Amino acid sequence: MKIAVIIPARHASTRLEGKPLADINGKPMVWRVYERAKAAGLPNEVSVATDDERILKAVHSLGGRAVMTSASHASGTDRVAEAALSTDAEIIVNLQGDEPLIDPSCIDAAIRPMLDDPEVRISTLKTRITTEEEYRNPNAVKVVTDRDGNALYFSRSPIPAGRTTFKELHSPPFKHIGLYVYRRDALFEFTRLKPAPLENTEMLEQLRALENGFRIKVAEVDYNPISVDTPEDLERVRALINHG
């Protein structure tokens, strides 16, 4: 079964312009992500989906695969779906281009449910929240699942919302890691759907899937990602790689 990782990368960013090409210790960030994806064990191919010639040329100059996509896409998932037309892979991994420290084993962990269960059409990741600060942080998306590991809900609010203190929660809180794996038909079906009310309320695209009856399998990993959204995040990642 062919598995393709597609990294959506657009040049425009409200908080960090040209983010995919930001230099991280001699390499553009998008290439750092590309290398991490190549180090995973399960994918057969890796590519970057972009709307900018500068990103395309940067990836090609380093020997990687990149495809041009429309500049009008509303989301990275839409960009990934267009790029998926250029591969015959049966499983598509949407890997965010702003996580240059992503652990390759997490990519494999997100794919594994697809290989173990042919009924799984979308899968993603979660990690245990260990601090009340992260639990309360609206930028850290939370997820709750059923006993079989299927997502019940995603929210920017603290969920599960206990009546006791953070340390006394009966059900441990988990943070969602925004790495998605789709069966090919599920990806195209999802991107044909219109944004849904809960999605618009929480500003979380994955709620469109839940509102339309998709089952999302959520695998747990022991990894807390560092996404690059601001110049401060970029400096932090540079320091970690420099001293790593």
Going from N- to C-terminal start, the domains of the chain cover: 1-102
Q: What percent of the chain has pLDDT over 90?
A: 83
pLDDT score for 226:
86
What is the per-residue pLDDT for 23?
94
Average pLDDT over residues 127-141: 94
What is the tens place of the pLDDT at every residue in 203-219? 999 999 999 999 999 99
- pLDDT tens digits for 30-61? 999 999 999 999 999 999 999 999 999 999 99
Rounded average pLDDT over 190-203:
95
DSSP string, the chain: --EEEEEEE-S--SSSTTGGG-EETTEEHHHHHHHHHHHSSS-SEEEEEES-HHHHHHHHHTT--EEE--TT-SSHHHHHHHHHTT---SEEEE--TT-TT--HHHHHHHHHHHHH-TT--EEEEEEE---HHHHH-TTS-EEEE-TTSBEEEEESS-SS--SS-GGG-SS--EEEEEEEEEEHHHHHHHHHSPP-HHHHHHT-THHHHHHTT--EEEEE-S-------SHHHHHHHHHHHHH-
pLDDT for the residue 230:
86
Q: Which of 120-124, 180-184, 222-226 has the lowest mean pLDDT?
A: 222-226
For the chain, report the end-to-end CA distance as a whole number of angstroms. 35
* Residue at 168: amino acid letter: E
Rg of the chain on CA atoms, in Å: 17
Instruction: Give Cβ neighbours of residue 126 (< 8 Å, ≥ 6 apart).
Output: 143, 145, 174, 175, 176, 177, 218, 219, 220, 221
pLDDT of residue 14: 64
Q: What is the pLDDT of residue 243?
A: 75
Question: For the residues 109-136, what does the mean pLDDT come to?
Answer: 97
Which CATH superfamily is 1-102 part of?
Spore Coat Polysaccharide Biosynthesis Protein SpsA; Chain A (3.90.550.10)
- Average of pLDDT values for 22-30? 94
Region of 130 (left: φ > 0; alpha: ψ -120 to 50; beta: rest) is: alpha
Q: At what angle do helices 76-84 and 184-192 cross, to 10 degrees?
A: 130
| Higher per-residue pLDDT: 208 or 1 | 208
Query: What pLDDT score does 236 carry?
Result: 92
Angstrom distances, CA of residue 65 to CA of 15, 39, 74, 82, 181: 27, 15, 23, 15, 19
pLDDT band for position 244 (50/70/90)? low
Task: State the helix-helix crossing angle for 104-116 and 29-39, rounded to 10 degrees.
Answer: 50
pLDDT band, very low/low/confident/very high, at 176 (cuts 50, 70, 90): very high
Residue 17's pLDDT band, with cuts at 50, 70 and 90, is confident
Please give the pLDDT value at position 110: 98
